[in-house]
Chain A
């Protein structure tokens, strides 16, 4: 289990240090600083083993979070916890920065005491934590309130308290996807996958039970025999996506749910049903690898003219419905390390040689579907006595599109609240799809 948790600033100064177990000594704090933060080479592995002690770290902007243990723990669990920890901190005081941490250190220690007990992670749900860890002064609680908190924390539905009331029952659903791609210069897909998340914001009264339907192949097939109606509806839903309008269901490789989802029901009935926490939470994560509609294609053309010059020509093609608009498109073209000068011409957007990053950065604010843009550049090179050939790192790209590249669809989301007098139709539901680029690279 986790033996201790440290937070450092970019210089390696300790901001927060909380030790949960005796096997972690004071020197562990320094060991991490010396061997990871101040290491000569950049440490790329998130897990470092120093003197039989394991350090798991994540970095948020300039802040290092490190969990320490001497035992053989589940690394995925530790990282999950660290990410949760940052989420909790962000929920309390906004951005996780050195300044904010210093200003809220008492609060952070309080949170740490609550969410880790002798190194075992406890309830990390922000909504619940906020009910008993507040930034306001402590007000003396009545006996009922205290007992309520106890039953809340120890009870069956630990993520939602009773007696929540809203005048307007609203529900927001975001499907957020990031597309990862590696493509050969000839346009062959070498690897591609989509990592998606469904984030939900619920403002519902009482203890509502929700049912959620998606166009997952397995779910649809199992339902297919039982109710043809669902099948039909799934087939006729008007797609907002440009590319995957024809196919009706997608193959999800793996998925995971928020703790509120009843897994037993998912396993037996293949339905996703849950009582949502109040406020924002991540309902589900999934991954797909098949039939991904790639929003952009890059066609690179790199020609070395002698040892002193190089010509680069890049074509970007958008590949989705013309009615949709991609935003924040950015293409990054790496340049050789001995570049001494660059001339760039592009038809659309702005392109600039950034010496500090050894790359040409081409930014296009908006781009419609089924369009094509071109950039050409002349790179001057300096002779060096380094005989190694330039390795030609891949061209990478960033963008944001208003559809799910995996073809993911929300088929329905039904709300039942038997005790209170509102029905599924009274709930206002909003659904949004956002596709972003992950590691979207083309070799050149």
Chain B
């Protein structure tokens, strides 16, 4: 029998002091081994131990465990302690179990039984101990075993407040670890009403629980909004003396307020006007309170107050509905921008970034531009400066772009290395996005390369070249500027790359000036040659061969360079090959061939800025660009496109690959002049080429199709890019119709007379399942009567990475103009996604070519002389006229191309038969190109009214 009873546990104290007095680790281990042997013999002994002894030994074991030794016995004794009625013994038992018994211990069943007994007990202390243990372990088995008991405890009327509080938090813990187990259905309304509880502690605990539940199932808990608003208004309007225990440094219940404000951020603004007004009042009161002088100088007071304020501002931004509130929030944040406290300034910048994206407050944010710029320059903490950069990026628009870009460029020179790369990207994007004058854009980017060349990624300089090539008006200026920039004694390799490329293309534009004569240009570039990496040298070699084409007078100088051992026998195979092949090309080929091979690069297809994609990849959540976040822009990887349309091999590349250089370079090296981006043809838009195929992010840049694409849906609710994609299918049957981050849609079609079969392939590009996938086809207007559509159903889910096929049967009843529209809907990561596309089914698909001789043709031609049977259009060619391409387009249009009929061999004459269910319609086409004026005259005659007009329009869109 122990000599001391009670809580003292002298044996334990002695043991602990022994351990502390040990001189060395070895001595400690010896003492522990001795104690363990003692406890083992005690537990083994036949005589039963009383509660006190058990408690003492279990406690010692716990201590030994905490010292870092394994304990493999004593668990049973600890479980026995749970059934004791003494608080201390129960407490030690629970402590031991929480610390030592893992989730998959055999004893768990016994423990859960003991916990259940305690939960049912009348003594609140015992219940709380049991709840604490559950919260500490929180295993699946526990969640299963106690899924009924704990919610019951939470909503029951006769549990006391402190127990309710613990129960709510324990339940939250179980929900987090095993969310699928707890059935909440029947308790919903009662849990929501906990927000009305008298006791603030219970409300605080319940608010956390409810927020977690809401995240899982927002609909079911919708009722909490009004309760939360009323609770919030009661707190906000109360004075700090009202809530005695829950006032923290003169702020009434700050934690609860923050939790409620967060809870409300899970829902859209309340619809009930009464609730809405009340909420608005609350938010206004919070904003008002921020203006009041502080009641205490203590930092805790201002922290608590600001926590509530920032959460309120977050809610205001989330609701994004009340311009008044947004502007007020913005002003409040503006005050914080100049606050002494760095943390506040950081938070203010961060919140303002969000405010800048809202249409209501964008202008208000802009007022603080000066302050933000000062912050960028003077802040000591780099993370704050980073936020300032983000905010500047977010608040930038056409009006202030020049200034902001200027400031950022200026700051870049002294910026931290950690944020330089991101800043470079941002400057590049802003400059491109808001450039009114492209000379300015070129200046900015060249400055960028000059200041922070190392941080300028490939994408940035690719982009500037794309833009210079696509815009004739800046080419001369760009050439001049890079020429000047290259004259600096030391310039960055990226500058050499840009310079090499641009001068190779447009060097002739400045060659007139004696200061930049061809030889000077060449010598300037060649002076940098030896300092560059092999990749850049390869690019420069391509520039040299282009120079040979541009300036035949320096041909020999360049040939000498190509001939030099340094190039011809370079250890780098790529350089060696280039120099040998270019040398051969320049010496064998005639001037004409050379001119064709080395023709000026065709304009690049407009596409989403690759820089933006990079920025997004780098910081997925921090691109606060309104338009981007709202819609899923179709982004088409170019490589894939050129693969899928292999029939459309650009002719220029074909030319090159016939035993001449750069074929390998074009295929392999991405820096190659000819291989940069998608090689598009020079002479005519390819059948599958991407001209106007993509909607660029920046409407100002789209040269060919200035369709504003600010919102994803344009022209009759079609998803962005759908119209362009549709057009390219007029002359072809298979290909990729649409693609974005989530989905790729491909089309394959087959037509026989009046019957058509279209397969649509939906490829899931994400790594998640797409749910509730449904496809519907609609036939607008009179299309319903002229095209009979049969649709095979498609399954509800698309697995990650999988492809689903759907077949449509389309029979042509009579002639039609519109195309059927495909409505695709699915759920992706909880959000509803909608894509509307025009299915490329047009009248021309139902034509079959017809052969006939000259007499036959003109006989028919004359027979169809009725004005309603003829449609004629004269228009400018959308791309340079090329006979082969035009011919292939006509064939793709399903009409024959008849030779030796028209007296003028330049003209095309075609015939075909249109099959509809009711009748067959003869089609005759005459196309007269005018190469000088780059114009076409197109005449279509058909035996049925309207048909000629429809086909004429369709064909025109392709030329």
Q: Which residues of A contact B (CB under 8 A)?
A: 10, 40, 42, 62, 337-341, 355-358, 380, 382-386
Contacts and interface: CB of A to CB of B under 8 A. Distances in A.
A386 B43 CA distance: 16
A357 B30 CA distance: 6
Interface stretch (B68-76, B237-245, B752-760): B68-76
A383 B40 contact: no
B106 A340 contact: no
Interface in B31-51: 31, 33-34, 36-38, 40-41, 43-44
B25 interface: yes
A382 B106 contact: no
Contacts of B68: 40
Given A10-B24, A339-B40, A385-B106, A358 B33 contact: yes
B23 interface: yes
Contacts of B70: 386
A148 B847 CA distance: 120
B41 A341 contact: yes
B44 A356 contact: no
B105 interface: yes
A340 B25 contact: no
23 contacts: A10-B23, A40-B68, A42-B25, A62-B24, A337-B36, A338-B40, A338-B73, A339-B37, A340-B37, A340-B40, A340-B41, A340-B43, A355-B37, A356-B31, A356-B33, A356-B37, A358-B33, A382-B40, A382-B43, A382-B44, A384-B73, A385-B75, A385-B107
Contacts of A62: 23-24
B70 to A, nearest CB: 8
Contacts of A355: 33-34, 36-38
Nearest to B40: A340
Contacts of A341: 41, 44
A277 B44 CA distance: 63
Contacts of A337: 36, 72
Contacts of A338: 40, 72-73
| 9 A-B pairs with least C-beta separation | A355-B37, A386-B72, A340-B44, A356-B30, A340-B40, A356-B34, A384-B72, A384-B73, A355-B34
A10 B41 CA distance: 32
Interface in B68-120: 68, 70, 72-73, 75, 105-107
Contacts of A10: 23-24
A357 B33 contact: yes
Interface string B56-78: 00000000000010101101000
Contacts of B37: 339-340, 355-356, 358
A102 to B, nearest CB: 16
B105 to A, nearest CB: 7
B168 to A, nearest CB: 34
Contacts, number: 51
Contacts of B107: 385
A337 B40 CA distance: 10
Nearest to B29: A356
Given A356-B31, A383-B73, A385-B75, 18 more contacts: A10-B23, A10-B24, A62-B23, A62-B24, A337-B72, A338-B40, A338-B72, A339-B37, A341-B41, A355-B36, A356-B34, A356-B37, A358-B33, A380-B44, A382-B40, A382-B73, A385-B106, A385-B107
Nearest to A387: B72
B427 to A, nearest CB: 40
A358 B75 CA distance: 22
A338 B68 CA distance: 18
B27 to A, nearest CB: 9
In the complex, which of the residues B70, B72, B106 has the most CB atoms of chain A within 10 Å of its own CB atom?
B72
A4 B866 CA distance: 109
Judged by DSSP, the binding face of B is helix
A10 B22 CA distance: 11
Interface of B: 23-25, 30-31, 33-34, 36-38, 40-41, 43-44, 68, 70, 72-73, 75, 105-107
Contacts of B75: 385
B232 to A, nearest CB: 49
Contacts of A356: 30-31, 33-34, 37
Contacts of B33: 355-358
A340 B39 CA distance: 8
B34 to A, nearest CB: 4
A358 B32 CA distance: 11
Contacts of B106: 385
A386 B107 CA distance: 13
A251 B107 CA distance: 62
Contacts of A382: 40, 43-44, 73
Nearest to A10: B24
A40 B41 CA distance: 29
A380 B23 CA distance: 31
Taking each of B25, B33, B70, B105, which has the highest tally of chain A beta carbons within 10 Å of its own beta carbon?
B33
Contacts of B31: 356
A386 B71 CA distance: 9
B540 to A, nearest CB: 42
A342 to B, nearest CB: 9
A341 B68 CA distance: 24
A62 B30 CA distance: 16
B14 to A, nearest CB: 16
Contacts of A357: 30, 33
A135 to B, nearest CB: 28
Nearest to B101: A385
A63 to B, nearest CB: 11
Nearest to A308: B44
A358 B33 CA distance: 7
Nearest to A383: B73
Give the most central of A42, A355, A386: most B CB within 10 Å: A355
Contacts of B105: 385
Contacts of A384: 72-73
B183 to A, nearest CB: 33
Contacts of A383: 73
Contacts of A380: 44
Contacts of A358: 33, 37
Contacts of B24: 10, 62
A62 B23 CA distance: 9
A340 B40 CA distance: 5
A357 B37 CA distance: 10
A358 B36 CA distance: 10
B887 to A, nearest CB: 72
A288 to B, nearest CB: 33
A422 to B, nearest CB: 52
A384 B76 CA distance: 10
Contact of B73 (A40, A42, A385): A385
B341 to A, nearest CB: 35
Contacts of A385: 72-73, 75, 105-107
Contacts of A40: 68
Contacts of B30: 356-357
A355 B34 CA distance: 5
A189 to B, nearest CB: 31
B99 to A, nearest CB: 15
B53 to A, nearest CB: 15
A226 B81 CA distance: 86
A275 B701 CA distance: 97
A356 B26 CA distance: 10
Contacts of B34: 355-356
B475 to A, nearest CB: 55
Nearest to B37: A355
Nearest to B105: A385
